[in-house]
Amino acid sequence: MSDSNSPQDWNALAERVACHVDNYLEGLEAVARGDAAAHTVPMLLLEVSQVILAGAQLGASADVILPDNWEPEVGDDPDLDAVRQGLAERLIAVDEYVEVFDPYKDTEATSYRLSDDLVDVASDLVHGLRHYQQDRPLEALWWWQYSYFNHWGNHAGAALRALHAVISGARLDVAEEVAAVP
């Protein structure tokens, strides 16, 4: 990451994040439609991991400050309930999980749903993407960074841990082989 806050640096970062966001949204929609079939959880793990990379880039960057500290209106965000429902149907066996949301402040586990977390992340990301698509990369970066720290970063991290647990449990939970006696 460059220490510079030049428009070129911000534009390059916005382009990289927008690419991750597009990929995440397309992947989530494909999984919700059932396109991943038996690979639903591994595909979601991949999608979440890649969008967390974008979040890490935002977290490692200087604070994005909007001129006049004002976010222009982008209109209503799209309704993602069909995606949420499709994910819930595909994740029915593993949708609910528990998480300690903030390991430094929380002392009790809270119940969450993967389908909700994944769509909450998408909702925050699509809002910033709409700024980006309206040729406002600084506003997009500001929104993505703010909402990463405030909301979607926690939900993506929790979803990543839950998806990882499902996959690692499936791969590591194998019957112990009985040693053959000579």
Locate the domains of the chain by residue range: 7-172
User: What are the backbone dihedrals phi and psi of residue 179, each rounded to the nearest 5 degrees, phi first?
Assistant: -65, 135
**pLDDT tens, position by position, 106-121:** 788 889 999 999 999 9
Per-residue pLDDT, 70 = 73
H or E element that contains 166: helix 153-172
Hey, what CATH class is 7-172 in? mainly alpha
**Structure token digits, residue 10:** 């911000």
Q: Cα separation of 130 and 150, whole Å? A: 19
Question: pLDDT, tens digit, for every residue of 135-148?
Answer: 999 999 999 999 99
What single DSSP character describes residue 67?
A: G
Q: What is the pTM of this model?
A: 0.87
Q: Measure Cα distances from 64 to 55, 111, 178 in Å.
A: 13, 33, 58
Q: Is the pLDDT of residue 176 over 50?
A: no
Structural tokens at position 136: 């406002």
Tell me the per-residue pLDDT of 3-56, one tens digit each, with 9 for 90 and over.
456 666 899 999 999 999 999 999 999 999 999 999 999 999 999 999 999 999
Nearest-angstrom CA–CA distance, 70 and 65: 9
Lowest-confidence region among 59-73, 106-120, 122-136? 59-73
Predicted confidence band of residue 178 (pLDDT cuts 50, 70, 90): very low
